[in-house]
Amino acid sequence: MATKYELKSKEIWDGNTAASHALRQAQVDVVAAYPITPSTPIVQNYASFLADGYVDGEFVMVESEHSAMSACVGAASAGGRVATATSSQGYALMVEVLYQASGMRLPIVMTVVNRALASPLNIHGDHGDLYLGRDAGWIHLMANNPQEAYDMTLCAFKVAENKSVRLPVTTNQDGFLVSHTAQVVEPLDDDTAYKFIGDYTPMNPMLDTSNPATYGAQTEEEWHFEFKASQHKALIDSAKVIEEVFNEFEKLTGRKYNLVESYKLEDAEIALAVMGSAYETAMVAVDKARVEGIKVGLVMPRSFRPFPYNEIASKLKNVKAIAALDRSCPMGAMGALYNEISGALSANGQAAIMTNYIYGLGGRDTTAEHILEVIKETNENAKAGKRVTDLQGFINLRGPKLSFN
Amino acid sequence: MKNITTLKEFACTPDRFNGGHRLCPGCAHGMIVREVVNATDDDLVISTATGCLEVCTAIYPYTSWDVSWLHIGFENAAAGISGAEAMYKALSKKNKSYNPDKNVKFVAFGGDGGTYDIGFQSLSGATERGHDFLYVCLDNEGYMNTGAQRSSSTPIGAHTTTSPRGKLSYGEKNRKKDLTMIMAAHGCPYVATATPGSKHWKDMAQKAAKAISTVGPTFINALSPCTTEWKFKPEDTVEISDLAVETCMFPLFEIEDGHKLTVNYKPKNKLPVEEYLSKQGRFSHLFKPENRWVIEEIQKEVDRYWEYLLRREEAGV
């Protein structure tokens, strides 16, 4: 039996500490992980919890991220609660097995600390890894600060293990900007947190050897499509469960999360869409813009997958122009947020003017002043009633202007 | 540890690996797997790397496995089984076992591609971490599931589609990696070689029983003659297995605790390697005059290695 960890009602935690305490409180049965900057402290903290008796499961310190996710698949199919953590190159090495974990409908929770993908090598935060895992069949939840990193990780277990979902979940926090930035976090006590998540409910565990289970069978053209389509349907339908879990979490903590977060959107004429810590920077920019008389608001998909198409379109139904800010280089296309939101608007018969901004790659600073500029440009589009700015721009990029139309 | 005495008794063990699978007629994989999974009375959780065994035994909605079974990918059978074993330990520790009265054992199978090559890191890692599992390499000396491409287990001189014989080529140029010794060097409590030869069914079954009952990571390298790509008749699988042992191309030995080596079978009359090579189409080009020297080199290497095994056994270190 694990020793209880006495927590204060307010702790000063960075995002990594917050995520690791959530893993501890979930009483995970098996954590299989490999250290990588900037998520290494999650793995270290978990090892310390084990060394001091605060967790009593198995901690498997594997030889690569590929094996980390493979061991997670083995452990989850065996029948128990499983979690891991990673970033960037480690995430990239896992990608093959991410698809296998979701295809086998295994409710693994992975706390991802987002970091740029090489080359060039860079240890700082951007969403290159998150976007790489976009189609991997996982639920991706966004956390903008240490409190959210803690809250989303608790919620992640409850969503993943829900019988109608049974899908793996990542929680995402920006490398260094959230993972290494200490803020006030209000944690739940251990008993309350565990009670919120609940006991793990097994489904076809391999270790129930009286009822042998087969995981990872082959399906060719007769069945593969049906499997993938039903997995996709489960992912789409998980939105409802995510909302239910968020509602339950609000009752417990007073902290309200939504599939689509928004800020000052009620009377907004233009909007920005942005995920991660930059959402909070953008709130400051919105306040500044409103002082200047620009009616601007913000949206953020709390759940990047499943993508809340209708909810986001509904939130944006009254705006005339939208700038989607993507923290990942789309490499020959428009950013993912731009594409998803454009699709959501189109599907709902809305026609706001869309532009795309790429920002913060490799941890490049993005300040409220930078975002205020984006707001002003977006406002130009709204005033003109057509796009008069570049289709895709780069925020705080040095050298020649690389934007294009 | 299961007591294995007569073939009749052993053959009557209720099958955990059932027929009706899609392995080629004459494939040694099925023989080896059946012996291994029937070599224990404990419950089993199996993991299998992508390869012939996997694609032929669990094609939805069918399965040949009457035990819990997991296939993830080509390179991670060992990592997958290590996770399952860790979960078993975790749940036992927390008094949450599914069947508290039963012992569960963990076995992973991989071909030589999934073991010598792409899965080697995962196997080395799981072994070093000391998980309690048996890993069985079904060594058919190449990527046979995809039509005979070379692996690091392919022996010198063998024709494969990526080390083909040709006007300027005698086939594979590199020596077969000595994976058994590499696994022993991990300090495993038990490492052995095996093959489904006519005299050696019991050797293999007993080795599997011993490996499964040994606590900690154990490894069996099982030579699995491939009728389809080694080019011999399906009914000759056992004969080829026998010749591999009688020529000492594939000697049967075991190593305990990383060092104590025992040679399990010493041929009364060690046959020349030609006896083994000449029965297989993959080596037929070696019998051309210009390639004869390769056979001589193979013989020299086989003799050297056999001498090494005998001396090491004798030294007892």
Specify the DSSP element, H or E, that contains B197. none
The percent of residues above 70 in pLDDT, for chain A, comes to: 100
Strands A183-185 vs A11-13: parallel, antiparallel or unpaired? antiparallel
Q: Are residues A274 and A242 in the same domain?
A: no
Instruction: Note down the domain range covering B24.
Output: 7-315
At residue A404 the predicted structure's pLDDT band, cuts being 50, 70 and 90, is confident
In a domain, B118, yes or no: yes
Among candidates B221, B219, B226, B175, which has minimal Cα distance to B195? B221
Res. A256: pLDDT tops 90: yes
Distance CA B44, CA A268 (A): 62
- DSSP, collapsed to helix, strand or coil, labels residue A373 as helix
Q: Are residues A223 and A353 in the same domain?
A: no
In a domain, B25, yes or no: yes
The percent of residues above 70 in pLDDT, for chain B, comes to: 100
Q: B100-110: per-residue pLDDT in tens? A: 999 999 999 99
Listed in order, strand segments (DSSP E) in A178-318 are 183-185, 214-215, 260-263, 270-273, 296-301, 303-305
Predicted pLDDT at B53: 97
Distance CA A347, CA A352 (A): 12
CB A32 within 8 A of CB B78: no
Q: Are residues A108 and A152 in the same domain?
A: yes
A330 touches chain B (CB under 8 A): no
In a domain, A57, yes or no: yes
Q: Are residues A88 and A189 in the same domain?
A: yes
In a domain, A404, yes or no: no
Strands A303-305 vs B169-170: parallel, antiparallel or unpaired? unpaired
Flag if B44 and A209 touch (Cβ within 8 Å): yes
Q: A159-218: per-residue pLDDT in tens? A: 999 999 999 999 999 999 999 999 999 999 999 999 999 999 999 999 999 999 999 999
Q: A119-144: per-residue pLDDT in tens? A: 999 999 999 999 999 999 999 999 99
Instruction: Note down the domain range covering A86.
Output: 11-211+218-253
B130 touches chain A (CB under 8 A): no
Distance CA A355, CA A392 (A): 6
Res. B14: pLDDT tops 80: no
Flag if A74 and B121 touch (Cβ within 8 Å): no
At residue A147 the predicted structure's pLDDT band, cuts being 50, 70 and 90, is very high
Strands B165-166 vs B169-170: parallel, antiparallel or unpaired? antiparallel
CB B119 within 8 A of CB B152: no
User: Which amino acid does the sequence have at B263?
Assistant: V
A139 touches chain B (CB under 8 A): no
Which DSSP string do the residues of B133-163 spell out, in sequence order? -EEEEEE-SSBGGGT-B--TTPPTT--BTTB
CB B175 within 8 A of CB B155: yes
State the CATH number of the domain containing residue A330: 3.40.50.920
pLDDT mean over B291-301 = 98
A interface test, pick of B68, B106, B109, B132 with most A CB neighbours within 10 Å: B68
Flag if B129 and A60 touch (Cβ within 8 Å): yes
What the block records as the tokens of B274 is 């030609």
pLDDT mean over A63-78 = 98
Q: Nearest C-alpha of chain A: how many angstroms from B74? A: 10
Q: Are residues A224 and A327 in the same domain?
A: no
Q: Nearest C-alpha of chain A: how many angstroms from B47? A: 8
Q: Are residues A229 and A83 in the same domain?
A: yes
What the block records as the tokens of B1 is 């540890």
Q: B114-166: per-residue pLDDT in tens? A: 999 999 999 999 999 999 999 999 999 999 999 999 999 999 999 999 999 99
State the CATH number of the domain containing residue B234: 3.40.50.970
Q: B246-295: per-residue pLDDT in tens? A: 999 999 999 999 999 999 999 999 999 999 999 999 999 999 999 999 99
Exposure of A399 by Cβ count < 10 A (0-12 exposed, 13-18 middle, 19+ buried)?
Answer: exposed
Among candidates A300, A303, A298, A308, which has minimal Cα distance to A272? A298
Q: Does the structure's ipTM exceed the value 0.95? A: yes
Distance CA A397, CA A357 (A): 11
pLDDT mean over B32-52 = 96
Q: Are residues A386 and A274 in the same domain?
A: yes
Q: Are residues A175 and A311 in the same domain?
A: no
**Chain A residue numbers touching B79 (CB-CB < 8 A):** 62, 66-67, 70-71, 74
Residue that finishes a domain, picked among A226, A253, A280: A253
Domain count, chain B: 1
Distance CA B39, CA A240 (A): 49
- Name which residue leads in pLDDT, B317 or A378: A378
Residue A13, strand partner residues: A183
Helix locations, A111-198, DSSP H:
128-132, 146-160, 190-197
Q: Are residues A247 and A141 in the same domain?
A: yes
Q: How many CA atoms within 13 Å lie on the side-chain side of A170?
A: 33
In a domain, B1, yes or no: no
Predicted pLDDT at B9: 84
Q: Are residues A182 and A290 in the same domain?
A: no
* B185 Cα distance to chain centroid: 17
Domain count, chain A: 2
Q: Are residues A121 and A270 in the same domain?
A: no
Across the interface, which of A62, A207, A209 has its CB nearest the CB of B125? A62
A306 touches chain B (CB under 8 A): no
- pTM of the predicted model, to two decimals? 0.97
**Chain A residue numbers touching B67 (CB-CB < 8 A):** 209, 212
How many separate helices (H) and strands (E) can be counted in chain B? 12, 10
- For helices A65-78 and B77-93, the axis angle rounded to 10 degrees is 50
Across the interface, which of B47, B55, B91 has its CB nearest the CB of A218? B55
Exposure of B100 by Cβ count < 10 A (0-12 exposed, 13-18 middle, 19+ buried)?
Answer: exposed
Mean pLDDT of chain A: 97
B57 touches chain A (CB under 8 A): no
Distance CA B36, CA A190 (A): 45
The percent of residues above 90 in pLDDT, for chain B, comes to: 94
B92 touches chain A (CB under 8 A): no
Residue with the two structure tokens 């731009």 = A338
Interior/surface letters A90-123, b for 16+ CB within 10 angstroms, e for the rest? bbbbbbbbbbbbbbbbbbbbbbbbbbbbeeeebb
User: Which amino acid does the sequence have at B213?
Assistant: S
Mean pLDDT of chain B: 96
pLDDT mean over A257-284 = 98
Predicted pLDDT at B15: 82
Please state, in angstroms and as integers, the Cα–Cα distance from residue B150 to each residue in A114, B141, B159, B240, following that order: 39, 7, 8, 20
Res. B5: pLDDT tops 90: no
Residue with the two structure tokens 């995981």 = A215
Within a 10 A sphere around the Cβ of A220, how many other Cβ atoms?
9
- Name which residue leads in pLDDT, A13 or B1: A13
Flag if B86 and A60 touch (Cβ within 8 Å): yes
Res. B4: pLDDT tops 90: no
In a domain, A351, yes or no: yes
Across the interface, which of A57, A79, A218 has its CB nearest the CB of B58? A218
Predicted pLDDT at B317: 78
Q: Are residues A152 and A94 in the same domain?
A: yes
In a domain, A231, yes or no: yes
Distance CA A300, CA B202 (A): 65
